[in-house]
Amino acid sequence: MLKTIITASKITLSCILVLWAAAASAQNKIEGVRVWPSPDSTRIVFDMAEKPDYSFFMLSNPRRLVVDINNTARHSDFPNIEKKHQLVDVIRASKPKKAGSTRVVFELLKPTKPVLFALAPTGPYKDRLVIDLYDKSDSQSVEKAPKNRVLETNRDIVIAIDAGHGGEDPGSIGPSGTYEKDITLKIAKRLERLINAERGMKAHLVRSGDYFIKVNSRSAKAREGKADFLVSIHADAFTSPQPRGASVWVLSLRRANSEIGKWIEDREKHSELLGGAADVIRDTASEKYLAQTLLDMSMDHSMKTGFKIAEEAVKELSKVAKMHKRYPQAASLGVLKSPDIPSILVETGFISNPQEERLLLSAGHQEKLAQAVFKSIRSYYQQNPPDDSLFATIKAQSPTRHKISRGESLSVVASRYGVSVNALKQANKLKSDRVYIGQVLTIPST
């Protein structure tokens, strides 16, 4: 009897040790799973308690991606996949290859290229395992130079609209929990509607939903859409709640010298870290070649165009919002660095300021901001249309007229429209350089 009791005790102790060993080995924990669909790919994010230890392999017939996450208790709470996902059908748990680990199976709808990487804690997130799935059959998933624009007449002027942040990257977060990425997308879609309603203009949304696009890919997507101009929409933030007001930013090839400018540059780098540190390392390694490349490709035209539209945007925004700065600001921002596409970045207000956070949540204020940005872009291209555009045809058929305002001179008007003072005098049969307030001048075509 005693021998039986001792044997039973040994068995019980062995079971306890096995359970204890399994529990000890499962030190990490899957705290949640999030899925972000995009037109080009699907991103799945595993929120982890600690840095993940993982491996993966692919299977065919049927197509599957199998991911093993070591040192974790089994996890079976996976989100259902919505129909808008074109790559993933089901995410489910399977029998792990060993105790104290989790095996996750992704049932795939198409041939898919998986990219897996771990992300360290940053911003609102802890450790993460990120799985990016790319459609092998989708040529858009590979960044490449677009074909040259086919020469045509009366074409639409294409405006690319970049809603800042998205998906894994919430951007700045307001005092009441408002995400910048949600505000920027709403304003971008309002701007898209206004542009598409204008004869001779067409909008191209860089981001149409809640998903992450790395900074350097945003101008590439604008290029894919054959954009004439890129406007990036953001909501500002700072370390204290006091700053407020909208601002417009243009590219500088030097580090910003203002505190707000440095803050914006740092936020852009932080956004890249939210999406994947590998891209930041690669881009930083090639940064020394960037300035020379930009010079070789002649940024001069793009930067001048961006600055002129920025001036128009400041003027229009000041009619509907408090301005943080009443002239365009400059910073070294990746989203503005495309040498062939003029661009500006519009900070619509400080989401870190409680009063402006409420304004940015207002549909009426969002519409006013979108209207102001739209008017500034339209005004510039009405005056300076591409030769093959419908705007150019309209301008040629109906000469531009300008009404003199207080403080304007003939030379100021000539500079604004890119014509000479003599050409302006000849078109209006002026014998001197004197003009008066309210006088209407005909602007000769350039």
Q: How far apart are CA 59 and CA 241, in angstroms?
A: 52
Q: CA gyration radius for the chain? A: 28
CA 59 to chain centre: 34
Q: How far is CA 345 from CA 1, 53, 233, 334, in A?
A: 84, 39, 6, 11
Residue type, 76: S
In CATH, what class is 397-443? alpha beta
Residue type, 426: Q
pLDDT tens string for the chain (446 positions)? 544 444 545 555 555 444 444 444 558 999 999 998 888 789 999 999 999 999 999 999 999 999 999 999 888 889 888 776 788 999 999 999 888 899 999 999 999 999 998 988 877 788 999 999 988 875 444 444 444 555 567 899 999 999 999 988 899 999 999 999 999 999 999 999 999 999 999 999 999 999 988 887 898 899 999 999 999 999 988 888 899 999 999 987 665 455 555 556 566 666 655 555 444 434 444 444 444 444 444 567 888 899 999 999 999 999 999 999 899 998 878 788 777 889 999 999 999 999 999 999 999 999 999 999 999 999 999 989 998 999 998 888 877 789 999 889 999 999 888 889 999 999 999 999 999 999 999 888 76
The label of the residue with tokens 């748990």 reads: 93
Tokens standing for 350?
């400080």
Domains of the chain, by residue range, sit at 25-140, 157-383, 397-443
Per CATH, the number for 25-140 is: 2.60.40.3500
Whether domain 157-383 has CATH 3.40.630.40: the reply is: yes
